[in-house]
Amino acid sequence: MSITNQSLLDPYQHVTEEFLRDPYPTYELLRNEAPIFKGPDSQRWLVSKYADVNAILRDNRFSSERYGGPMDERFSAVQRSHSNWMLMKDEPDHTRLRTLVNRAFTPATVEGLRSHIEGIATRLLDRMGRDGSGDLIGDYAFLLPVTVIASMLGVPVEDHSKFSRWSEALTGASDVHMRLSRMQGANDAAAELTEYFRDMVDARRSSPQNDLISALVAAEEQGSKLSTEEVIDNCIMLLFAGHETTVNLIGNGMYALLRNPDQMKKLAADHSLIKTAVEELLRYDSPVQYTRRTLKEDIEYGGMTMRKGEMVITIIGAAHRDPTQFSDPDRLDITRSDNKHLAFGAGLHFCLGASLARLEGELAVLHLVERFPNLKLRSGELHYKESAGFRGLKALPVTCG
């Protein structure tokens, strides 16, 4: 393969089924031959080495904000919502929003969810055990995190299925290779979620509950600068970020273990490895494959001149297979200890819910390994979702043994 091939230079311009199935050979080519690259027909810089990705994520000259100019009226609902997400805010707004929402993700609060998460996992696995087979995505990985985040927000159980649908639709607005139909679906989901949460916010004002929405409303009422729209939009962000990425952590992680039975057996024999195992699963096939930034000013970086307003794609999936940072990076090793992966980002925007995602991943994987020691993949071709940024399988059929 040659780096002069434009489809390889910017794989996000024309995303193929082959790339979605296995992006890592393309990432290796970029790392080796063009670690900081902007092709003549590309609208963005691609950065693929670990050291550069890590540095840029921590550099405040690279902005997280996306909607500084006029919005596309066709997609105004999702763009307006995104504009208030703390993920897409720079200082000082980012810290103001994060400080308020962070109250729901303290170590003690997250640890207090352990028995709740275990109960959800047990119920879902009971159902799979009775059937003798199932889809690890649809029957387990998809349902566990949406139940957790929805209950934290205070969403009634009967509405959880709608939350799942809305969360999946929102991925259409998060990829750099947006398709018109998926962008429209994301916009519709954002509009529906906005009205849904607006009703919940109004209800919590008159009758507070022991949930996250009530806590955010109370902070607003006590003189915080958090507006009603910011409460609504960051609830949407928490649904999306707290669901989509954890689905893919569980799904990608179990697929990796099923393809590496020696590692599965090692974990089954020693449950104390679960923490390093989840960190390695996050590195090996990261749920978030890239994140984007925008230049606030002209800079010289890595011998390249980057201009104000240009987009920079930091390819986390490529950084995680960089041999200068990780020894034998293409090998899954659940005992890997020096594992400074970037699956939760770095710097100011390090993932607010990292501790919750880790706990969900640990409990979900460990309960599966304990409950079904003879878990096997069913035959058939697997397909990945049409998202290069959020990597995950559409389905993962298994027999429980």
Dump pLDDT digits (tens) for 278-296: 999 999 999 999 999 999 9
What is the overall mean pLDDT for the chain?
Answer: 90
Rounded Cα distance between 350 and 326, Å, is: 20
Task: Indicate the pairing of strand 44-47 with strand 311-315.
Answer: parallel
Confidence of residue 71 (pLDDT cuts 50, 70, 90): low
Average pLDDT over residues 378-398: 93
Residue 73 has pLDDT above 80, yes or no: no
- The dihedral through the CA atoms of 317, 321, 324, 327 has a sign that is positive
Confidence of residue 223 (pLDDT cuts 50, 70, 90): low
Confidence of residue 133 (pLDDT cuts 50, 70, 90): very high
In percent, how much of the chain has pLDDT > 70? 93
Average pLDDT over residues 3-8: 47
Residue 5 has pLDDT above 80, yes or no: no
Q: If you average pLDDT over each of 182-186, 254-258, 371-375, which comes out highest?
A: 254-258
Confidence of residue 221 (pLDDT cuts 50, 70, 90): low
Residue 293 DSSP SS3:
strand
Burial of 216 (0-12, 13-18, 19+ CB in 10 A): buried
Average pLDDT over residues 319-346: 97
Confidence of residue 109 (pLDDT cuts 50, 70, 90): confident
Q: State in words which class domain 1-63+290-342 has.
A: alpha beta
Rounded Cα distance between 187 and 15, Å, is: 22
In percent, how much of the chain has pLDDT > 90? 66
Higher-pLDDT residue of 386 and 61 is: 61
Helix (H) or strand (E) holding 292: strand 290-295
Give residue 380's pLDDT: 86
Residue 8 has pLDDT above 60, yes or no: no
Residue 187 has pLDDT above 70, yes or no: yes
Residue 134 has pLDDT above 50, yes or no: yes
- Calculate the alpha carbon distances from 372 to 124, 201, 262, 344, 376 in Å: 13, 42, 16, 29, 9
Strand positions, DSSP E, 10-148? 36-37, 44-47, 62-63, 133-135
Residues 6+ apart with CB under 8 A from 189: 78, 165, 166, 167, 169, 170
- Domain assignments of the chain as residue spans, ordered by start: 1-63+290-342
Average pLDDT over residues 362-384: 94
Dump pLDDT digits (tens) for 308-330: 999 999 999 999 999 999 999 99
Residue 69 has pLDDT above 80, yes or no: no
Weakest-pLDDT range from 40-44, 61-65, 210-214:
40-44
User: How crowded is residue 219: how many other Cβ atoms within 10 Å of its Cβ?
Assistant: 17
Radius of gyration of the chain (CA): 21
Residues 352-382: b if buried by 16+ CB within 10 A, e if exposed: bbbbbbbbbbbbbbbbbbebbeebeeeeeee
Dump pLDDT digits (tens) for 156-186: 888 888 888 888 888 876 777 666 777 888 8
Burial of 205 (0-12, 13-18, 19+ CB in 10 A): middle
Dump pLDDT digits (tens) for 19-37: 999 999 999 999 999 999 9
Rounded Cα distance between 369 and 267, Å, is: 8
Report whether 317 contacts 289 (CB < 8 A). Answer: yes
